[in-house]
Structure 1
C-alpha cells in the first residue's frame, strides 16, 4: 500500500470518518493515481487491522498544513530567484 494513501486512511480513521475514494483523495499529501487509491481502500477493507498496525510502526509524517506551507515556501523561493535573475 502506498504510504500517502495509508496515511490518509489513518487520518480519516483517527477523525472517526469512513474512508472512501473521495475522502482519501481529499486527505492525500501528494497526488496519487485513482487505481492506487482504490487499491489502498480495497486493502484496508480486506484487512482493517493492517492500517492501524502499520500506522503505529511508521514514523509520524508532517501534518497537511505544514506540507502545504512547505510547498508554498518552495514556490515563493523559486519566484524570488526568477525575479532576481531578471534584475
Structure 2
C-alpha cells in the first residue's frame, strides 16, 4: 500500500470515520493516482490490520507497483493468447 494512502486511512480510522475514496483523497498529503487509492482501500477492507503495519519505503512501494502492473499485463496477455488459440 502506498505510504500516503496508508497514513490517510489510518488517520480516518483513528478519528472514527469509515474510509472511502473521497475521504481518503481529501486526507492525502501528496498527489496519488486514483487506482492507487482504490487499491489501498481494497487492501484495508480485506485486512483492516494492514494500516498498523510499518510503512513501506518509497522504493519498496515503487517495486510493488511495478510488479502489480507487470502482473496485470501478463494476465491480459494470457487472455489474448487464449482468444487467439480459440479463434
Same fold, judged at TM 0.5 (above): yes
Query: Which whole-Å CA distance do the structure 1 matches of 2:49 and 2:33 have between them?
Result: 24
TM-score (norm 2): 0.61
For the aligned residue pairs, the C-alpha RMSD in angstroms reads 1.0
CA deviation after TM superposition for structure 1 residue 2, in Å: 0.1
Count of residues in Structure 1 that have an aligned counterpart in Structure 2 = 55
TM-score (norm 1): 0.61
Query: After TM superposition, where is structure 1 displaced by more than 6 Å over at least 4 residues in a row?
Result: none
Q: Which runs of 5+ in 2 are unaligned?
A: 56-87
Query: Aligned residue for 2:32?
Result: 32
Aligned residue runs from structure 1 range 7-86, under 5 A? 7-51=7-51, 53-54=52-53, 57=54
Q: Deviations over 1:6-57 (max 9, x none)?
A: 0000000010000000000000000100000000000000000111x22xx4
Query: Which whole-Å CA distance do the structure 2 matches of 1:7 and 1:43 have between them?
Result: 13
Q: Which runs of 5+ in 1 are unaligned?
A: 59-87
